Amino acid sequence: MKRNHFVVTAISIIIISLVWILVTPTLFPTTADASDIAPHPGFLAPDFSLETPQGEIVTLADFQGQPVLVFFWASWCSVCRAAMPGLEAVYRDFSQQGFTLLAVNTTSQDTLSSALNYFESQAYTFTLLLDRDGATAEQYRMRAVPTSVLIGPDGIITDVIYGSGMSGGFLRARLGDLLTEGAE
């Protein structure tokens, strides 16, 4: 008798489990879609258009075919400020080979005057873009400054680095690889 009770209970549990597995997606549909996934290596970089301080609109797609570093920063961020001179040196060395550096100021978390004063005082030559409403930072799921997104000539993200990891030396090595791959 106990054995029959055990078999009936086991079969009942299996049937209930199968029904639960089949019904769960209907009762609790997922809300995640591709837009909920943070951009990461191996994925196509989300396109964006941002304004320069001079009012020019710059679009990421304009740089298709060349490596691009999208560097999210703020003027109050000491780590950002420490990284930028090294990035400037790499930009000067590699810009003639097609490398572009887009310094996206998180203006929604900063002040425009502070960002402009800092950028101009350092005489940086790479492109400054203003993310006034934070939409591009949100599109890239930026959670900390600096956030660095290195994009290959094919538009595919090769590296996403949060914090102080994007040094001039690391960028120089990665660009060497990307430019060699692009030439093949």
Residue entry with tokens 């089949």: 22
Q: How far is CA 85 from CA 5, 69, 102, 153, 155, in A?
A: 75, 14, 14, 24, 25
* Among 60, 80, 87, 129, the one annotated catalytic: 80
CA 21, CA 182: separation in Å to the nearest integer? 47
CA 165, CA 84: separation in Å to the nearest integer? 12
> Within a 10 A sphere around the Cβ of 154, how many other Cβ atoms?
14
80 is catalytic: yes
Residues classed as catalytic: 80
